[in-house]
Structure 1
């Protein structure tokens, strides 16, 4: 799935990198969210004669997460799905083939993740440390622990997952920045996951990214992600003990919450936003919120923000 909106300068690289994948039984869906830039129509038209590509254009703009949802539920036909945003691109042409082979070898898997790179606006490429070890298969509990240490991370653009289970558990329920991660965390409850040390794709960072302009309200809304594994619903038979999940959620809320709190102080330079964020953490995850509120680094930054 390649969702896109007004990205004519990036979309060809995304689509061409998908077409270059060595796995043959491939369906590529360009899901245009009613782009206003006419150049996007020209780019999409250039693929009309390729049987592997389906071009779908929304009648009106749905927004990022709703476009994900519509494409997964109504358009995708494959058993296995990966979402590559229209401004990102694959690197290793064998990634899908390697991931599919792992699914075939281990039918209990629900997702397979590869290595992802970050490309800065200045053109600096940095490889993630996650998923970079030898091929690993994790039980759900092992995967959650590996996520906390950074050994494993199910990044959206480098993770192939089972479509039937994603639909069953209700992927993309929340219109938040981390709608993808929130969904994948819940999917991790349902079966084993794997990582392969394959340089799968590049996440391109630029001024047009949704994640490049995160507001305080976005950070607060995104706290839904922290407790995602505890909201698995009746459709899922979780393969992880609930007491383990409670402990993990508390640790993860602190792990991510402290980073986000400091970002609000440093990048948003908002003391009021910081206190609103910490209040939300205290309400949902009291111990984690208190630990973050009492961090000397945060207290010092609050005081520095008061200076002219």
Structure 2
């Protein structure tokens, strides 16, 4: 029998009261064509049947499923707990509501292994609707093909320098996250040692803030295929955060100003300097006052 010597990939699934869609999620993880896998689950004290479902799957499958109980402290803490318990060389996030195509890990890993300095590889993602509404269709139209929002970059299958993303004229433009949610991304676990973990103080923008931290140091890969599906429904965390009007743009911009300014396009630098440079921001406010 031929031995599979490819690197181990940890499919990390942070859970909390996820019984509604968890079986579909786990089925998609276990059906991957890439065989060197483990599943790492960090559960935030679920009170429904989440753990019972996971334990049932664990007893019936050969792929290792590791379950870790976690004291709830926000979604970022749960994501980070998954990463810290992962044994894999690479991290593939999968959220409890979402699903992966069978060849998702296989195709992402093909690009990841093509260059030794790639931090992450991302792909297009589709959407699953609880009920198709005009609002959801509008969301898909706006946030569907995120990679098309880059101004200077021609994003096609392959690898680019992370600095090229930072230098793009549209870096600060909406949508702020032009990479995608963690379900659509494969990450080299070693990167966490260099740039740190997800910012647990953020509630909505912690993924795109983390992507930006990788960009000065690493290359970024892209697969031009729909390899995952992101579920949109009323109970989903993103919908809840939006309804509560969480806006972390100011926090993101301040972070970019403090850490990424030299890498950014001239227009982006000027925008942040006007906003946060002590003297320039005062002059801008003074000008606005008298005009």
Secondary structure of 2:225's counterpart equals strand
Q: Partners in 1 of 2:116 and 2:146 — Cα distance? A: 23
Where do 5+ consecutive residues of structure 1 fail to align? Answer: 233-239, 254-280, 295-308
Higher relative contact order (CA 8 A, sep 6+): 2
Deviation at 1:57, TM superposition (A): 3.6
In the TM superposition, what whole-angstrom CA distance separates every residue of 1:61-107 from its partner, at most 9, and x where no partner exists?
3331111111112x1111111211111111x3112111112122211
**Residue 57 of structure 2 is aligned with which of 47, 59, 69?**
47
Correspondence for 1:211 among 238, 241, 245? 238
Q: What is the distance in 1 between the residues matched to 2:40 and 2:73?
A: 16
1:135 matched to 2:163? The reply is: no
The answer to whether residue 28 in structure 2 is matched with residue 9 in structure 1 is no
Q: List alignment gaps of at least 5 residues for structure 2.
A: 1-11, 149-154
1:255-270 paired onto structure 2 within 5 Å:
none
Q: Are the aligned partners of 1:31 and 1:58 in contact in 2 as well (CA < 8 Å)?
A: yes
Counterpart among 88, 100, 103 of residue 94 in structure 1 = 103
1:110 is paired with a residue of what secondary structure?
strand
2:152 aligned partner? none
Whether contact under 8 Å (1:23, 1:96) holds in the other structure is yes
What's the CA shift for 1:217?
A: 6.8
Distance across 2 between alignment mates of 1:142 and 1:13: 37
CA drift at 1:216: 6.4
Aligned residues: 252
Q: Does 1:244 align with 2:263?
A: yes
Q: How does 1:114-153 map to 2 (within 5 A)?
A: 114-123=123-132, 126=140, 128-131=144-147, 134-144=156-166, 145=168, 148=171, 153=179
Report which of the two has the higher share of helix. 1
Residues 114-155 of structure 1: CA distance to partner in whole angstroms, max 9, x if unpaired? 101233331477482234864132112322328748895243
Distance verdict in 2 for CA 1:216–1:8, change over 3 Å: closer
- Paired position in structure 2 for 1:194: 221
Shift of 1:243: 2.7
3-state DSSP of counterpart to 2:209? helix
Q: TM-score, normalised by structure 2?
A: 0.74
